[in-house]
Amino acid sequence: MYDELRDICWKHNMMLPKLGLVIYTFGNASVVDRKNGVFAIKPSGVDYEKMKPEYIVIVSLEDGKVVDGALRPSSDTNTHLELYRAFPNIGGVVHTHSTFATAWAQTGLPVPIFGTTHADYLAMDIPCTDFMSDERIQNDYETETGRQITDWFAKHHVSPDEAQMILVAGHGPFTWGDSIAKAVFNARMIEELCKMAFITKSIAPDTPRLKTTLIEKHYERKHGKDAYYGQKS
């Protein structure tokens, strides 16, 4: 019944080490099937080299419990669950500990929008959550990690369709998209943007953000109503 969902989930998890975004068992990707009220996610602590489609775990969107699968789901499952509930348009979620994005997350700072490569995907700084309060840490930690993310969007009145990525302070990047493929793409993109921003800041620490008119121009030509990047669908 969940064969196809498992296959898609497995295939996109396997892309993470190939894209240089994870080593060993770091990171996880999930894909949602909203019609059936479930999402498929990587099992916890299984090496990518040994991963098989049948190891993928199917989890209920309603109560976060395992619906199908013999293994324990990723320890970050409740973070994915929280995002699927709060962001109704998203189809996939990816979490990695990729080197440059994680190094930025460790500073607790947003990533300044320094150039058009960034503006092509995101018309603002890459957001970074606050550090989690002790009260939340003692609570259901993974659910609260999801809430750190959704709180940021609520507080800043930003839609998760506009910014499909965030750094969790002290932790690492989470990305999403209308599909798991887009979420993986965004995981690769946040790593590249963080690497570029690190180099820019090392060369010239006082580099200002890109001017607003240029940010808007680049974002709009890819995502605006008169977008002209790519092929007509």
Q: Least separation, in Å, of the C-beta of 199 and a second copy?
A: 4
Q: Least separation, in Å, of the C-beta of 23 and a second copy?
A: 7
Q: Least separation, in Å, of the C-beta of 160 and a second copy?
A: 21
Total residues at interface with a second copy (CB under 8 A) = 60
- 229 in catalytic set: yes
Q: Is 61 in the site for a second copy (CB under 8 A)?
A: no
Q: Is 89 in the site for a second copy (CB under 8 A)?
A: no
Helix, strand or coil, per DSSP, at residue 201 = helix
Say if CB 27 and CB 96 are below 8 A apart.
yes
Please identify, among the stretches 6-14, 30-38, 157-165, 197-205, the one whose residues bind a second copy according to the rule CB under 8 A.
Answer: 197-205
Helix, strand or coil, per DSSP, at residue 81 = helix
Say if CB 122 and CB 158 are below 8 A apart.
no
Helix, strand or coil, per DSSP, at residue 93 = strand
Site for a second copy (CB under 8 A): which residue of 11, 85, 182, 201? 201
Q: Which is nearer to a second copy, 143 or 200 (CB)?
A: 200
- Helices 180-203 and 99-107, interaxial angle, to 10°? 70
Site for a second copy (CB under 8 A): which residue of 18, 50, 138, 157? 138
Site for a second copy (CB under 8 A): which residue of 75, 130, 155, 156? 75
Q: Least separation, in Å, of the C-beta of 182 and a second copy?
A: 12
Dihedral sign from CA coordinates of 218, 88, 66, 145: positive
The one catalytic residue among 33, 120, 125, 151: 120
Q: Is 228 in the site for a second copy (CB under 8 A)?
A: yes
Site for a second copy (CB under 8 A): which residue of 48, 85, 214, 224? 214
Tokens found for residue 29? 């990707």
How many angstroms separate the CA atoms of 165 and 76, rounded? 16
Say if CB 186 and CB 121 are below 8 A apart.
yes
For residue 199, the surrounding DSSP H or E stretch is helix 180-203
Where in the sequence numbering do the catalytic residues fall?
120, 229
